[in-house]
Amino acid sequence: MPAQKKVLVLLIGQSNMAGRGEIEPEDCQEIPGLFKLSADLSWESALEPLHFDHPRVGTGPGRTFGKLLLQHRPGYQVGLVPSAVGGSPISAWRPGEQFPAGVYPYDNALRRAQAARREGEFAAVLWHQGEADAKKQNRDYQRELRNLILRLRGDLALPALPFLCGGLGDFLAPDYGAEPINDATRAAAAELPQVGYVSSQGLKDKGDQLHFSAASAREFGRRYFEAFLALTSPRNN
């Protein structure tokens, strides 16, 4: 009997998408029907950590999003495709670019997405990135994000694939300059169809003024899902 088809979600960006929140007991409880694509391209139960980009990887927003999507799509499995890389600037999310040395964020994400498609179809991309570019005061962020969205949709041959972009935390240290990146992200979302902006307002860090706590990461996942529903509701299509 053929394997049950999965509803797929691509998780990309840097450390706050990969997850750096402290893993708590609820993050390790199996959710029947919710899977993650491992580093070796096999499907496993979607327990935290989902990602494998760093020794300190922890809880992120993807698992909560997947759990809610699973509830929203009865009769289906959900497959999360973790592909974020901590510290990566948006310039690393172009074909052939490396960050860090020997790691190709865009190429690897595309390879993993294509492998996942053997067992399902993509419903959404979740993107959280920008801390690296905030520190560099990247004035081209809106254009670069727009190009990334269009390129990824083109490479996946999914021109209307919902793409959800999360805002940077308002707890970031002052030298990050988060608001210009959030403004650029909102602007990119406004100029492209089927792209949504997800606010992180009021969410808390884990004490380092950089990474979301586990509780806030889970809440962020819920906000991503609410934005997904708003983006894909019949009245908006």
The predicted pLDDT at position 134 comes to: 96
Distance separating alpha carbons of residues 142 and 175, to the nearest angstrom: 20
Peptide bond preceding 100 in cis form (omega within 30 of 0): yes
Residue 9: both structure tokens together = 């979600």
pTM recorded for the entire structure: 0.97
186 CB burial (10 A radius; 0-12, 13-18, 19+): middle
pLDDT band at 184 (very low <50, low <70, confident <90, very high): very high
Q: Structural domains in the chain?
A: 6-236 (3.40.50.1110)
Residue 1 has pLDDT above 60, yes or no: no
Q: Which of the four pLDDT bands, split at 50, 70 and 90, describes residue 3?
A: low
Hey, how many other C-beta atoms are within 10 angstroms of the C-beta on 232?
A: 16
Longest dimension (CA), the chain: 56
In sequence order, which residues have a C-beta less than 8 Å from that of residue 170 and are 6 or more positions away?
A: 178, 200, 201, 202, 203
Q: What is the mean pLDDT of residues 204-222?
A: 98
d(CA 10, CA 106): 12
Out of 14-23, 81-90, 93-102, 169-178, least confident range = 169-178
Coil vs helix vs strand at 219:
helix
Q: Give the per-residue pLDDT at 236.
A: 57
| Cα separation values, 18 from 4, 14, 80, 163, Å | 26, 6, 12, 17
